[in-house]
């Protein structure tokens, strides 16, 4: 992989989130993978081929951030142009272009010039052009940036539908909610460095569980104390924090009969929290 210190693998058929603050090196990484930029050292391979390889490009696609396209053309003309780049013949193109428009929900707008398109529609055209070759691997760079909530949702759905078809999507974003909702795995990079990587569950479920107990006796507190990392008093409630599932069960067993168990809440950390935490750490 490319970049200075970025190294990762993407599994087939997953949506791989690639997040980091602006300027973290997301786009650079993608461009390197596409062969638009050249790695200063090391090598970039995609689908087992060196980055930029023509054969590899047959099987991948790319949607840059906020593309504009040739605004004098209609949606259909733009797609026709991109189809030509895959050397599709006229008959194939005639079939493929309406399919693509259909796929991104622009069937009725295909004959309108792009300058009349909204930002969301342009983005759909962008996705449509990325789908022409039914790629195995799609690179989406900030696909939802600058979109209104409805368009945002539509684009997310489009991305999710790709996974259903068994495609691998490489999604870069600084919009964490995007990634959180759709990605299987996430890599977080900051300042050109890979900071953290894992499945959504690995990254987020590694949180703590809070067991809230009403009026525990001091014996009980003493008994549970070794199992919890932290104990806090909140009025009549005492909260026990623990990391592992095993300890959760042990604490529940201990509490049972001794006091009233009010709640057991697994503290699922949001990606946002994780991200902020990581970026902060990076600053120190």
Partner 1 sequence: MIIWAIARTTVGDALRKKILQVFIVVAIGLIVLSLSFSQTLSFSSQRGASSDFMLLKSFGLGMMALAGIFISLILGVTLIPQEFERRTIYTILAKPVKRYEFITGKFLGAILTLGIATGLMGITFILTIVIKAIGAQQLSASPTLGQMLGSTTEKVAIFDWNMVWGVILVYLQFMVLSSIVLLFSLIFTQTVNFFMGAAVYAVGFMSTVVISLGGAEGANVALQLFYKTISYVLPRFDQFNIPNQLLHPETQVTNMGAYTGMMALYGLLYTLLALVAAILIFERKEV
The residue ranges that bind partner 1 (CB under 8 A) are 31, 34-38, 54-55, 57-58, 60-70, 72-73, 81-82, 84-87, 126, 129-130, 132-133, 139
Rounded-to-integer distance, Cα 52 and Cα 154, Å: 30
- Give Cα separations from 38 to 28, 59, 137, 182 (angstroms): 10, 20, 20, 30
CB 174 within 8 A of CB 3: no
Rounded-to-integer distance, Cα 116 and Cα 119, Å: 10
Closer to partner 1 by Cβ: residue 122 or 227: 122
Closer to partner 1 by Cβ: residue 101 or 227: 101
Closer to partner 1 by Cβ: residue 31 or 96: 31
In the complex, minimum distance from the CB of residue 67 to partner 1, in angstroms, rounded to a whole number: 5
In the complex, minimum distance from the CB of residue 34 to partner 1, in angstroms, rounded to a whole number: 5
- Give Cα separations from 175 to 178, 238, 260, 278 (angstroms): 6, 36, 41, 15
In the complex, minimum distance from the CB of residue 195 to partner 1, in angstroms, rounded to a whole number: 25
- 17: part of which helix (H) or strand (E)? strand 15-19
In the complex, minimum distance from the CB of residue 72 to partner 1, in angstroms, rounded to a whole number: 5
In the complex, minimum distance from the CB of residue 79 to partner 1, in angstroms, rounded to a whole number: 11
For CA atoms 50, 51, 55, 56, give the dihedral sign.
positive
Closer to partner 1 by Cβ: residue 133 or 156: 133
In the complex, minimum distance from the CB of residue 33 to partner 1, in angstroms, rounded to a whole number: 10
The phi, psi pair for 12, rounded to 5°, reads -65, 140
Closer to partner 1 by Cβ: residue 51 or 224: 51
Closer to partner 1 by Cβ: residue 59 or 239: 59
Full strand arrangement of the beta sheet holding 193-199: 60-63, 137-141, 168-173, 15-19, 185-190, 193-199
């Amino acid at each position: 992989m490319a970049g200075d210190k970025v190294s990762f693998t993407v599994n087939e058929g997953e949506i791989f989130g690639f997040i980091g603050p602006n300027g973290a090196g997301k786009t650079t990484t993608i461009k390197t993978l596409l062969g638009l930029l050249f790695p200063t050292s090391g090598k970039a391979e995609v689908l087992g081929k060196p980055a930029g390889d023509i054969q590899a490009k047959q099987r991948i696609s790319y949607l840059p951030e906020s593309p504009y396209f040739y605004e004098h053309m209609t949606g259909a003309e733009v797609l026709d142009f991109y189809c030509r780049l895959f050397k599709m013949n006229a008959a194939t193109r005639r079939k493929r272009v309406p399919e693509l428009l259909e796929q991104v929900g622009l069937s009725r707008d295909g004959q309108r010039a792009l300058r009349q398109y909204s930002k969301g529609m342009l983005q759909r055209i962008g996705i449509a052009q990325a789908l022409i070759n039914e790629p195995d691997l799609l690179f989406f760079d900030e696909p939802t940036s600058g979109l209104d909530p409805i368009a945002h949702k539509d684009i997310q759905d489009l991305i999710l539908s790709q996974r259903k078809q068994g495609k691998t999507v490489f999604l870069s974003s600084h919009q964490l909610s995007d990634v959180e909702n759709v990605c299987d795995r996430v890599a977080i990079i900051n300042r050109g460095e890979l900071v953290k990587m894992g499945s959504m569950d690995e990254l987020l479920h590694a949180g703590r569980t809070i067991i809230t107990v009403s009026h525990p006796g001091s014996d009980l507190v003493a008994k549970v104390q070794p199992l919890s990392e932290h104990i806090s008093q909140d009025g009549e409630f005492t909260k026990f924090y623990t990391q592992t599932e095993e300890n959760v069960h042990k604490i529940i067993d201990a509490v049972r009969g001794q006091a009233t168990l009010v709640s057991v809440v697994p503290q699922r950390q949001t990606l946002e929290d994780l991200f902020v935490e990581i970026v902060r750490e990076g600053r120190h």
